[in-house]
Amino acid sequence: MATTEIQFYVQGMKCEGCVKNARKHLAQVPGFESADFDLEAGTAVVRGDIDPQAAVKAFAEAGYSAVVKSD
């Protein structure tokens, strides 16, 4: 299946430890490939063949509130 990029608004992430924690939880989601974070903007870009709601759930399990960023 094709790799997609999904953008999220994420609240509560403040440091590289937060990034590491979020990546650890996202890595458990089937189809996850990678993620980049902009802590200042409060955004994340998640790549892979991944269900957006599964990613939102992974963020929540990591302790962060996330919503899909719509265009």
Per-residue pLDDT in tens (0 to 9) along the chain, 71 residues: 567 999 999 999 999 999 999 999 999 999 999 999 999 999 999 999 999 999 999 999 999 999 999 86
Q: What spatial distance separates the first Cα and last Cα of the chain, rounded to whole Å?
A: 23
The residues pairing with 43 across neighbouring beta strands, listed in sequence order, are 9, 38
- Write out the two tokens for 23: 């990546």
Quote the pLDDT of residue 12: 96
Global pTM? 0.92
Quote the pLDDT of residue 71: 61
**Residue 60 belongs to domain with CATH number:** 3.30.70.100
Residue 49 belongs to what domain range? 4-68
- Counting the structural domains of the chain, the total is 1
